[in-house]
């Protein structure tokens, strides 16, 4: 062991012991991990001032202190029992001169619909409790290859919030309700609620969520972080409990745009088990940090998507201030009243129902003989036969999807064609061509509402649908706060435009620095 590291470790141990006896600082505070970035972590690892084992222990202690106890965020479903052992091994590799990449020794929390072989994968359903898949999801394999430590699995809106007509974001039958770290009486938004809360509350260096429509950007908005849903196909979806093959993607949920860029590149790759990733081959960049440019707004032409505005005057005020800042930074902003002239909400809903059934059946099949549920039809039957499942929420989306046909059905084929045509060729692509745009901008959502398990969610506004239905990328960053509650701004655009969106988002983030650390108010 490096002598300097040995001395430092001994001093840390003595200091921890003294602190524990006096009831003072936690290991997390002692190691000064609040808001730590990937670059800062790697710098402290490389100069011998920190080890992955220390960081992992600190995060595990913090999860116990403020997630399961303390303010009770309830964002974590499962902690990896092997996390410390993995961290020790990665520390040994580093001492031997083997650093796998920028994520070596970096703790990451995953949404609990992403397969891991060392923890259960449940989508928050009581019926899936104890289901441990035999193979990691493709993106988890990539992260482990890069030296990441899969620290824990995050609570979520059950079945990624596709289960009932009325529901509460962040609630699952298995894990209960996730609470917002800025005010624990408020909602974290869904369905990647646990990932958003864990990132904001500094329970890990990085977290990952999944999105069909809004499930990364909405909790990122409500929890004051950066959320990035990439183009569908840039990240593999194999080994992830799905809703929609056409519109699902996992993506970074982190505290800075730079960390989003680092994580984005680490998990890319062409996966033979996800055909959509074959389209990404010519668009993959191993290092997305090359596109981070503080002057990146200079000369950009951005379309202000105004449709979500007019629903919350104080959010509109923040948005107008943001537009002024974008223009100060060199962008030209033009108003865009609508992106698609046709309402495709009904078509999009039908696509989700059909693809949810098809995707769940394939996922259950992938679990083999150990699958706790064999099909969505069986899931619907189990739900009907367990009164506690419908005591709070109606579960109608599960019942409706179970009754759908296969993907050869004419209703599905027509809905899919109509959704894609009006969201792509006659939607985002058309408007960007006609207006010569580099990207769109719009408010991501409203401040977090009070959690209400009786009346359900209270979405005041959203801007994720155009990009979601097209399968195109979107990134949200903090743009300010209302009464201590964060609000975000979203940038979205063409497929494979991650470099441009990162450039724009980073320039705005660095010029404003609106991220605020939560204080766990009640």
By C-alpha distance, which of 420, 142, 145, 427 is closest to 274? Answer: 142
CA distance 53 to 100: 16
Task: Pinpoint the alpha helices (H) of 207-287.
Answer: 217-222, 257-266
The yes-or-no verdict on residue 297 having pLDDT over 90 is yes
* pLDDT tens readout for residues 330-389: 999 999 999 999 999 999 999 999 999 999 999 999 999 999 999 999 999 999 999 999
> SS3 of 126, please?
helix
Half-sphere exposure in the Cβ direction for 344 (13 Å, CA): 27
DSSP assignment, residue 66?
I
How far from the centroid of its chain's Cα atoms is residue 86's Cα? 24
The yes-or-no verdict on residue 22 having pLDDT over 60 is no
By C-alpha distance, which of 175, 179, 74, 178 is closest to 125? Answer: 175
CA distance 344 to 423: 8
Written as six digits, the tokens of 73 are 């965020």
Half-sphere exposure in the Cβ direction for 428 (13 Å, CA): 27
Per CATH, the number for 31-512 is 3.90.1300.10
CA distance 374 to 360: 9
**The pLDDT value given to residue 15:** 47
So which residues are the catalytic ones?
111, 191, 215
Mean pLDDT, to the nearest integer, of 151-159? 98
**Residue 359 phi/psi, 5° resolution?**
-70, -40
Written as six digits, the tokens of 249 are 């993607």
> SS3 of 366, please?
helix
**Residue 81 phi/psi, 5° resolution?**
-70, -15
CA distance 256 to 334: 27
The yes-or-no verdict on residue 69 having pLDDT over 70 is yes
Mean pLDDT, to the nearest integer, of 419-445? 98
The yes-or-no verdict on residue 428 having pLDDT over 90 is yes
> SS3 of 505, please?
helix
By C-alpha distance, which of 114, 120, 155 is closest to 237? Answer: 114
Written as six digits, the tokens of 104 are 């070596």
CA distance 446 to 451: 14
CA distance 122 to 241: 9
Confidence of residue 24 (pLDDT cuts 50, 70, 90): low
CA distance 212 to 334: 28
The yes-or-no verdict on residue 10 having pLDDT over 80 is no
How far from the centroid of its chain's Cα atoms is residue 235's Cα? 13
Written as six digits, the tokens of 94 are 């580093």
Separation of first and last alpha carbons in the chain:
46
- Cβ within 8 Å of residue 320, ≥6 positions away: none
Mean pLDDT, to the nearest integer, of 170-186? 98
Mean pLDDT, to the nearest integer, of 256-266? 99
Exposure b/e, 259-297, CB count within 10 A at least 16 = b: bbbbbbbbbbbbbeebebbeebeebbbeebbebbeeebb
pTM score of the predicted model = 0.96
Mean pLDDT, to the nearest integer, of 6-15? 48
By C-alpha distance, which of 109, 104, 108, 110 is closest to 50? Answer: 104
CA distance 273 to 270: 9
Mean pLDDT, to the nearest integer, of 475-493? 98
Mean pLDDT of all residues belonging to the chain = 96
**The pLDDT value given to residue 18:** 46
Confidence of residue 25 (pLDDT cuts 50, 70, 90): confident
Written as six digits, the tokens of 162 are 């596709």
Written as six digits, the tokens of 518 are 């939560």
Query: What is the number of other CB atoms lying within 10 angstroms of the CB of residue 306?
Result: 16
């Amino acid at each position: 062991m490096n002598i300097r590291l040995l001395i430092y470790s001994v001093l840390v141990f003595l200091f921890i012991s003294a602190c524990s006896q006096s009831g003072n600082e936690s290991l997390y505070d002692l190691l000064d991990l609040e808001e730590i970035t990937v670059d800062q972590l790697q710098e402290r690892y490389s100069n011998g001032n920190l080890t992955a084992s220390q960081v992992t222990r600190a995060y595990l202690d913090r999860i116990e202190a403020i997630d399961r106890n303390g303010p009770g965020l309830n964002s974590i479903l499962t902690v990896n029992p092997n996390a410390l052992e993995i961290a020790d091994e990665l520390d040994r590799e580093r001492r031997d001169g083997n650093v796998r990449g920028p994520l070596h020794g970096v703790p990451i929390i995953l949404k609990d619909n992403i397969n891991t072989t060392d923890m259960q994968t449940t989508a928050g359903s009581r019926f899936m409790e104890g289901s441990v898949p035999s193979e990691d999801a493709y993106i988890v394999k990539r992260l482990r290859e890069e030296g990441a430590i899969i620290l824990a699995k995050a609570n979520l809106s059950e079945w990624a919030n596709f289960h009932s007509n009325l529901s509460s974001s962040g609630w699952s039958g298995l894990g209960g309700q996730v609470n917002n770290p800025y005010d624990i009486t408020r909602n974290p938004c869904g369905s990647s609620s646990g990932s958003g809360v864990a990132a904001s509350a500094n329970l890990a260096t990085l977290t990952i969520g999944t999105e069909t429509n809004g499930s990364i950007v909405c909790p990122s908005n409500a929890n004051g972080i950066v959320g990035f849903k990439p183009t569908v196909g840039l990240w593999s979806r194999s080994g992830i409990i799905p809703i929609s093959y056409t519109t699902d993607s996992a993506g970074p949920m982190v505290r800075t745009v730079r960390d989003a860029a680092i994580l984005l590149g680490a998990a890319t790759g062409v996966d033979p088990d996800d055909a959509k990733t074959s389209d990404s081959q010519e668009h993959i960049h191993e290092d997305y940090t090359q596109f981070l440019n503080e002057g990146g707004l200079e000369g950009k032409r951005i379309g202000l998507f105004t449709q979500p505005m007019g629903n919350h005057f104080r959010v509109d005020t923040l948005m107008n201030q943001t537009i002024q800042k974008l223009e100060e930074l060199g962008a030209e902003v033009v108003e865009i009243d609508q992106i698609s002239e046709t309402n495709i909400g009904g078509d999009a809903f039908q696509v989700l129902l059909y693809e949810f059934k098809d995707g769940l059946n394939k996922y259950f099949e992938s679990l083999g003989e150990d699958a706790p549920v064999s099909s969505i039809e069986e899931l619907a039957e189990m739900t009907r036969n367990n009164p506690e499942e419908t005591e709070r929420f109606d579960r109608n989306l599960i019942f409706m999807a179970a009754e759908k046909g296969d993907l050869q059905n004419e209703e599905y084929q027509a809905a899919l064609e109509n959704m894609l045509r009006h969201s792509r060729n006659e939607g985002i692509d058309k408007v960007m061509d006609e207006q010569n745009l580099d990207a769109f901008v719009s408010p991501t959502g409203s401040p977090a509402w009070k959690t209400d398990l009786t009346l359900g969610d209270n979405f005041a506004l959203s801007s994720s649908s155009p990009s979601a239905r097209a399968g195109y990328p979107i990134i949200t960053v903090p743009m300010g706060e209302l009464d201590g509650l964060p609000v975000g701004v979203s940038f979205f655009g063409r497929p494979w435009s991650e470099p441009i969106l990162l450039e724009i988002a980073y320039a705005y983030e660095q010029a404003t620095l609106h991220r605020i650390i939560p204080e766990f108010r009640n």
